[in-house]
Structure 1
Amino acid sequence: MVKWRLGFLGLALVCAGCMAYALYEQYYEFLSPCPLCIFQRIVIITFGVLSLLAALLPARGSRFWPVVLTLVGLSGMGVAGRHIYIQYFMDTSKLASCGPGLEMMLQKQPWLEVFRAVLVGHGECAVIDWKFLGLSMPCWTFILFVALTVGAWLVWKCQGKRK
Structure 2
Amino acid sequence: MEQSRRLLWLIALLCFGAVGAALVSQHVFDMPPCAWCVFQRLLYLVIGVLALLGANIRALTRLCATLGLLLSAGGIAAAWYQYDVAAHMFSCDMTFADQFMSASGLDGAAPWLFGIYASCMDAMVEILGVEYALWSLALFAILLVMNLIAMLRRD
TM-score, normalised to structure 1, is 0.72
Unaligned stretches of 5+ in structure 2?
105-117
Higher CA-based Rg: 1
CA–CA separation in structure 2 for the residues paired with 1:66 and 1:9: 11
Is the 8 Å Cα contact of residues 131 and 137 (structure 1) preserved in structure 2?
yes
CA–CA separation in structure 1 for the residues paired with 2:151 and 2:74: 20
CA–CA separation in structure 2 for the residues paired with 1:75 and 1:99: 20
Match of 1:14 in 2: 14
CA–CA separation in structure 2 for the residues paired with 1:78 and 1:142: 8
Listed as ranges, the matches of 1:1-163 within 5 Å are 1-59=1-59, 63-86=62-85, 90=88, 92=89, 95-96=90-91, 106=102, 124-127=119-122, 129-157=124-152, 159-160=153-154, 162=155
CA–CA separation in structure 1 for the residues paired with 2:129 and 2:52: 32
Q: CA deviation at 1:16?
A: 1.1
TM-score, normalised to structure 2, is 0.76
Number of matched residues? 138
Unaligned stretches of 5+ in structure 1?
112-122
CA–CA separation in structure 1 for the residues paired with 2:132 and 2:3: 31
Identity %: 26
CA–CA separation in structure 1 for the residues paired with 2:35 and 2:151: 33
CA–CA separation in structure 2 for the residues paired with 1:32 and 1:133: 18
CA–CA separation in structure 2 for the residues paired with 1:44 and 1:9: 14
RMSD (Å), alpha carbons = 2.7
